[in-house]
């Protein structure tokens, strides 16, 4: 099985960028929950959202293992 390393790295970089941005918003939500301003359901829904997005990234990462061999430049 030939792995498309470039594709795999791209997915990992995008997933990391997503986690960094989402993580900062999530930390803000947890702090708001600790202050009693936020519903517990809000924190739960954010956890589901991040798990779902990561699942989609994992499926996309799988594509790197099934890449069609490149044709020579036309």
Interaction residues for other proteins, span 41-60 (CB under 8 A): 41-43, 45-46, 48-49, 52-53, 55-57, 59-60
Tokens of 55: 């699942």
Q: Residues 31, 25: contact at Cβ < 8 Å?
A: no
Among 21, 27, 34, 47, binds other proteins (CB under 8 A): 21
Residue 16 half-sphere exposure, CB side, CA atoms within 13 Å? 6
User: Where does this chain bind other proteins (CB under 8 A)?
Assistant: 7, 14, 17-18, 21-22, 25-26, 28-29, 32, 36-39, 41-43, 45-46, 48-49, 52-53, 55-57, 59-60, 62-63, 66-74
């Amino acid at each position: 099985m030939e792995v498309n390393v470039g594709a795999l790295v791209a997915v990992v970089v995008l997933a990391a960028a997503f986690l960094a941005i989402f993580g900062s918003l999530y930390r803000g939500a947890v702090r708001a929950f600790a202050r009693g301003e936020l519903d517990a359901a809000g924190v739960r829904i954010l956890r589901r959202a991040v798990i779902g997005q990561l699942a989609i990234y994992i499926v996309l990462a799988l594509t790197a293992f099934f890449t069609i061999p490149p044709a020579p430049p036309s």
